[in-house]
Amino acid sequence: MSEPGFRSKFKDTDVAVTFRDLILLPGWTEVEPNQVELSTQVTLNHSLNMPFVASPMDTVTESEMAIAVARLGALGVLHRNCTAEEEVEMAKKVKRAESLVIKDVITIRPTETVEYATELMQRHNISGLPVVEGETLVGIVTGRDVRFADSSLLTKDVMTKKVITAPDDTNIESAKEILHKHRVEKLPLIDKEGRLKGLMTIKDILLRGRFPNAARDENGQLLCGAAVSPFDLKRAKKLSEIADILVIDVSHFHNANVFSATKKILEEVDADVVVGSIGTYKAAEDAITKLEGIAGFRVGIGSGSICTTMESTKAGSPTVYATAQVADAVRTYGSKIPIIADGGIRGPGDAAVAMSLGASTVMMGNLFARCKEAPGTLITIGGRYYKQYRGMGSPSAMAKRFSMDRYAQPSKGLPEGVEGWVPYKGEVGVVIQEMSAGLQASMGYAGAKTIPELWEKAHLAAITHSGAEEARPHDVLLPSDSPERV
């Protein structure tokens, strides 16, 4: 009988290091923090100016968060703990928030009532509607036209008939001139036959100037990610028509059923598809060799601040360890698939460590859940503000049906997350500013001007438990509102 192999299961074990175990060694540098460039690939076909991604969790990312982070150069991934229709609506809201040329213009017919025109403007939160007969533009009606009008009148009775228009290939500079010259706010674009082809608005042009760093697609619309179950092809196809990036959202992607379901999605959708969560070299290797068309990896299992997966099942792959594993597989196979390091990020230093190990971006739930734009409820405890934050495998999130397949409750009957509160931080811009400034400082210490340079130049060292204590403020009485008290 050959020698039994059980002892080798722990004799040559890897150390599954975590953020708390590692520090970034200062290296020779010729880079000042403000020269550090944070732009990065989030998927094979989409880049960001800020390497941060908001988690698909129902206390983190709905349209408001996705719009806010995209304007600042990052990406929001809409959660799927809702119906397909609700998720599609959220994605539409993000894509409609800004665009250079609105293609799917909301229009009205001349014979519709003023009451309907008002309702349409309110429902879509817009200030005016081109009026069309068939496809031909015949007028424009704005909030001002309907505000005090008798609601039973028809749109044709109140609309402006002499509309200022421009050809459908008008560029932004000419549009600005026309809008200024005629002191109007909306510019319908028409073809030679007078058919409505698009709409440019002063609001979109101004927003473009206000958010020069925004993550946008080629039409000037904000970039939008959306989470999907691998087993819901119908939802994936619908969302792929709107969102730029789909994230296959399962807690353990390295699974035969998940692989075959994802294969179908990869074959049938146009959007970039990120797969995960994975945590080992082997999972990445299998994904690279068995699935075609993957545009990103979501990496890390069990490190999230609300996760109980590792505690209750002992199964997991801490984000730091997982990132290095997957990055090695990506490199070995000569692939360029970008890595999103997900879970356990407590600040810019953690992001720097994940990126030193091959991540292109980091995904965060906890830090974004603290913000005004997150959907969780705001409460006060002992005179301080907090926001609700829960794991998607927590009992209350699992009570909503779509989280069931991510954490496979029917087969496991086990919650894998908790629900709690995180300190309120205000607008998400504050978090992105702190994260980016801190990350630039870390990269400055490592001597790296860009994220790919950090992959090559960064050196890490392990730190002992007592070292980790020393690395925080110590031997000093801190004020009660110090961030160290969180």
Nearest C-alpha neighbor of 41 from the set 444, 343, 355, 449:
355
| Cα–Cα dist 55/78, whole Å | 8
Q: Are 412 and 395 in contact (CB under 8 A)?
A: no
| Cα–Cα dist 135/351, whole Å | 50
296 in contact with ligand XMP (CB under 6 A) = no
Active site residue 406: yes
Please state the closest distance from residue 215 (CB atom) to ligand XMP, in A. 18
Q: Are 94 and 75 in contact (CB under 8 A)?
A: no
Q: Which is nearer to ligand XMP, 200 or 368 (CB)?
A: 368
DSSP, collapsed to helix, strand or coil, labels residue 266 as helix
Q: Which is nearer to ligand XMP, 198 or 391 (CB)?
A: 391
Q: 84-96 vs 63-71: helix axis angle to the nearest 10?
A: 30
| Cα–Cα dist 9/5, whole Å | 7
Figure out which of the listed residues 274, 393, 425, 428 binds ligand XMP, where binding follows CB under 6 A.
393
188 in contact with ligand XMP (CB under 6 A) = no
Figure out which of the listed residues 126, 340, 392, 428 binds ligand XMP, where binding follows CB under 6 A.
392
Site size for ligand XMP (CB under 6 A): 23
| Cα–Cα dist 91/226, whole Å | 7
| Cα–Cα dist 434/438, whole Å | 6
Q: Which residue is nearest to ligand XMP (CB)?
A: 417
416 in contact with ligand XMP (CB under 6 A) = yes
283 in contact with ligand XMP (CB under 6 A) = no
Please state the closest distance from residue 406 (CB atom) to ligand XMP, in A. 8
Of the candidate spans 106-114, 228-236, 303-311, 461-469, the one that interacts with ligand XMP by CB under 6 A turns out to be 303-311
Single-letter code of the amino acid located at 21 = D
HSE of 73, CA atoms in CB hemisphere, 13 A:
20
Active site residue 307: yes
Of 307, 370, 371, 390, the active-site residue reads: 307
Figure out which of the listed residues 318, 348, 417, 444 binds ligand XMP, where binding follows CB under 6 A.
417
CB atoms within 10 A of CB 431: 23
Report which secondary-structure segment, H or E, holds 51: none
Contact letters (x/-) for ligand XMP, 340-379, by CB under 6 A?
A: --xxxx-----------------xxxx-------------
Q: Which is nearer to ligand XMP, 142 or 305 (CB)?
A: 305
Q: Are 82 and 376 in contact (CB under 8 A)?
A: no
Q: Where are the beta strands (DSSP E) in 250-301?
A: 272-278, 294-299
| Cα–Cα dist 106/126, whole Å | 9
306 in contact with ligand XMP (CB under 6 A) = yes
Please state the closest distance from residue 325 (CB atom) to ligand XMP, in A. 16
394 in contact with ligand XMP (CB under 6 A) = yes
Please state the closest distance from residue 233 (CB atom) to ligand XMP, in A. 22
Q: Which is nearer to ligand XMP, 186 or 252 (CB)?
A: 252
DSSP, collapsed to helix, strand or coil, labels residue 362 as strand
| Cα–Cα dist 481/371, whole Å | 17
318 in contact with ligand XMP (CB under 6 A) = no
309 in contact with ligand XMP (CB under 6 A) = yes
Among all residues, which ones are annotated catalytic? 307, 406
Residues in contact with ligand XMP by CB under 6 A are: 55, 57, 277, 302, 304-307, 309, 342-345, 363-366, 391-394, 416-417
